[in-house]
Amino acid sequence: MNKKTIWITGGSTGIGKALAIKFSSKGWNVAVSARRVELLNEVCDQYENITAFPLDVTDKQSCFEVFNKIKNKFNDIDICFFSTGTWNPKKEKDIDVEQMEEVFKINFFGTVNTIKAVEQHFKNRKNGVITIVSSIAGYRGLPNSTGYGPSKSALNNLAESLYFDFKRSNVRVCLVSPGFIKTPMTDKNDFKMPFLKTPEYAADQIYDGLVNKKSFEIHFPKALTITLKVLSFLPSWLYFNLIGRLTKYQKK
């Protein structure tokens, strides 16, 4: 029986790295991509069934080339996990147009580029999972999030739209909405993060959701995500009042 294969972008650190190790421990072939080659190689040196495929997701042509390399090496791909992202809180407090363009270029269009690269393969295969990693920041507008939050909200909408398109080919589109996970990206935050969890915790939740369950969205930790989902249904005036008090948005 051939081993199954997963392709993970953003696989050099954080959730992507932890998920690569998790799937590796379960006997999967794991293809990991990121821009920082040295960090990818560190992971691959420790786990024999993790292979590095360096990639800048903002390069459309490279996304196709790397996908073909992975397919040629492993013959097939069962799951794609697209988790490339960037976040710079110091530039999110004001309208920094260049920063917002950069965030969308990586977070949103980088994800679109990778999905486009695998689209025809999965539609022809008529099976498999395409996973889009968003964030709780995509549920509704938050203070000091002029680029990151909107980029994640766009990914939420994209995942819902693609769900219908790929379902016709029996391909599952899955949305992952993590809460606060201790990664190099969240280490930049200058506020106390509620329900902060480890990347290993996130990897366990995602593995279970992708392999054992069939729900559209994998979100965690539930104590936080369910609360935010309830808040998202509130009328605007009440939502703004509550979030403003909780985050003290007047302070910069």
DSSP 91-159: GSSS--HHHHHHHIIIIIHHHHHHHHHHHHHHHHHT--EEEEE--GGGSS--TT-SSHHHHHHHHHHHH
Helix (H) or strand (E) holding 31: strand 29-33
pLDDT of residue 89: 75
pLDDT band at 2 (very low <50, low <70, confident <90, very high): confident
- The pLDDT tens digits for 17-73 are 999 999 999 999 999 999 999 999 999 999 989 999 999 999 999 999 999 999 999
Q: Is residue 252 part of a domain?
A: no
| Domain extent for 175 | 5-247
CATH number at residue 85: 3.40.50.720
Q: Is residue 25 part of a domain?
A: yes
Taking 3-state DSSP, the helix, strand and coil percentages for the chain, each rounded to the nearest 5, stand at 50, 15, 35
pTM of the model: 0.92
pLDDT of residue 252: 41
Distance CA 145, CA 141 (A): 8
Number of separate domains in the chain: 1
Residue 251 has pLDDT above 50, yes or no: no
Cβ 12 vs Cβ 40: under 8 Å: yes
Residue 130 has pLDDT above 60, yes or no: yes
pLDDT of residue 47: 94
Residue 129 has pLDDT above 80, yes or no: yes
Q: Is residue 38 part of a domain?
A: yes
Q: Is residue 163 part of a domain?
A: yes
Q: Is residue 31 part of a domain?
A: yes
pLDDT of residue 249: 46
199-207 mean pLDDT: 97
